[in-house]
Structure 1
């Protein structure tokens, strides 16, 4: 969280030039530290990145969606880079001036960890290890529901790892699994648990739900678990789009065809379903199998396939753990091919959704 940048790195992140960044810094009056020794070069924090992005968007008068666009990142298969892509999209959208909320719906909490929060850490352990209590996860998405034993308002659940103008995060921990249990009881008592979830989001988008006002956001992202549980189905029902990352190295036709069936069933039963958008990951132009897989899925899912893909790269972390925490790639290595691909995917998704 202490990563700093020089003007050239900020220019890469915001898709502009170093001179533009320097002028924007001066015009905005942003308080940026300078190097203490040697040349008095400006040193930007991550918070500065998002402050500049917000200032530029306001100056240009960028149009915003009339209500938040809701997206679920989901595919019924693990190991496809789902949480990695969700975390990076959540970091990229605010650089385009979009106020973004990302919600971890997987009690394994990989996305939560991607933003530096440790779902296994207690306040006592943080104290003993000299860690900030901000890293501790006390509440999650389930805490927004009145059925939850200790229901909390949205503002007390949200974490802001990179300041007010960066992505806002609703983290997860293992107790989130209890929300699925609550929803099962709701269903057994003849109440539609999926509608309970969808109504919370629908009312929140229009500012009609006390304690859950989502109306100020431009984009809301759910990172759903690979399993088809009630939370995942409910997130899909509440969403406008489902972004399905697939591994082009180990592409499973069953996973995507299964998701297509789930969406068709949802449309028949509920009268609506999110629009499917497929993002290819781990693309390697040197591997014939990958090229064949890519051509095959483009033929089969031409309307749902996003032309921008993410190349296979060693820059993406192999594993996530609290001991080896790294910033999402878009921020940690903004000049990398992976970061470039992610930004292109984000832009194309927003264009497809009609946001940009």
Structure 2
């Protein structure tokens, strides 16, 4: 069943400086689910570890043109984007090991916080037919790469795992988002919170989910993604869970979450109110 297209491209920054919360997993599986629903989707891998590129089966060895060339060399995104095998509507801009030193290299460059934004304007915002959704997978830190993502995007999607200390460190991320909104990108809004690694058998998981819903209200997706062996196994086969085991609880949950995001995106414009619908 096809998913509804947004009026203009939605650029979602998938961020949480806490590692191991299912950030990359959420980015690639939502992207794959939306592509299967007929939407045109781009994943930008902004993490030097390149896990999103690996999960999508995209080549990202050192000689491959990558997001590093976009940020540091000013290469157009059109020259580095790769179509994801097996998907008609899914593309990826990979991360290579070169990205590891880019935080230091960016410091001395002109408009260091807005380099990704400029590239996105050329490739996505000025060419609205190219994509319906862009997911930017950030590194688990709040350095210049993440700042570039926050300046380039319209919305922030925060994956939160349903475990003890789930909200730890989140206040710093929200503070940084406020700073970016105040000084660099007034359009930015936290539009989506995704609950990940949900284990319905434990009281802790439901307590954390309740706490997150109380704190963030309607921005929390009603679909919680379960803890799943299939989701964990898929990247080692260069796949998302959507193709690795489409009938699994993890795949069905991401499909449901993707549909929820797409339904929320109908009729919203690229403004500061984006994602609040």
Using structure 2 for the length normalisation, give the TM-score.
0.86
Q: CA deviation at 1:304?
A: 2.5
Structure 2 residue aligned with 1:158? 81
SS at match of 2:12: strand
The farther-off stretch of 271-280 and 304-313 is 271-280
Structure 2 residue aligned with 1:95? 36
Give 1:138's match in structure 2, choosing from 45, 49, 64. Answer: 64
Output the CA distance in 2 between the equivalents of 1:92 and 1:169: 14
Q: Structure 1, residues 294-338: CA drift from partner, whole Å, max 9, x if none?
A: 111111111322211111222222595xxx424210111111111
1:117 aligns with 2:58: yes
SS at match of 2:230: coil
- Alpha carbons of 1:95 and 1:355: their partners in 2 closer, same or farther (altered >3 Å)? farther
Give 1:262's match in structure 2, choosing from 169, 176, 197. Answer: 176
Output the CA distance in 1 between the equivalents of 2:108 and 2:70: 17
Give 1:344's match in structure 2, choosing from 233, 249, 256. Answer: 256
Output the CA distance in 2 between the equivalents of 1:318 and 1:163: 18
RMSD of the alignment, in Å?
2.5
Gaps of 5+ in 1: 1-14, 16-56, 123-136, 208-212
Q: Structure 1, residues 143-176: CA drift from partner, whole Å, max 9, x if none?
A: 235x51xx54434312112257231111111102
Q: CA deviation at 1:246?
A: 1.0
Structure 2 residue aligned with 1:53? none
Q: CA deviation at 1:197?
A: 2.7
Structure 2 residue aligned with 1:310? 225
Q: CA deviation at 1:112?
A: 0.8
Output the CA distance in 2 between the equivalents of 1:325 and 1:171: 17
Structure 1 residue aligned with 2:25? 84
Aligned positions of 1:2-41 closer than 5 A: 15=1
Structure 2 residue aligned with 1:199? 118
Q: CA deviation at 1:181?
A: 2.8
Aligned positions of 1:177-188 closer than 5 A: 177-186=100-109
Q: Which has the larger radius of gyration?
A: 1
SS at match of 1:70: strand
Give 1:298's match in structure 2, choosing from 213, 219, 226. Answer: 213
Q: Is the 8 A contact 2:42 2:90 kept in 1?
A: yes
- Alpha carbons of 1:257 and 1:352: their partners in 2 closer, same or farther (altered >3 Å)? farther
The number of residue pairs the alignment matches comes to 267
Gaps of 5+ in 2: 269-277
Q: Is the 8 A contact 1:201 1:238 kept in 2?
A: yes
Q: CA deviation at 1:96?
A: 1.8
Q: CA deviation at 1:223?
A: 0.6
Output the CA distance in 2 between the equivalents of 1:352 and 1:286: 29
The farther-off stretch of 338-347 and 247-256 is 247-256
- Alpha carbons of 1:141 and 1:169: their partners in 2 closer, same or farther (altered >3 Å)? same
Give 2:153's match in structure 1, choosing from 226, 232, 239. Answer: 239
Q: CA deviation at 1:105?
A: 0.3
Using structure 1 for the length normalisation, give the TM-score.
0.68
Q: Is the 8 A contact 1:239 1:274 kept in 2?
A: no
Q: Which has the higher contact order (CA 8 A, sep 6+)?
A: 2
- Alpha carbons of 1:163 and 1:139: their partners in 2 closer, same or farther (altered >3 Å)? same
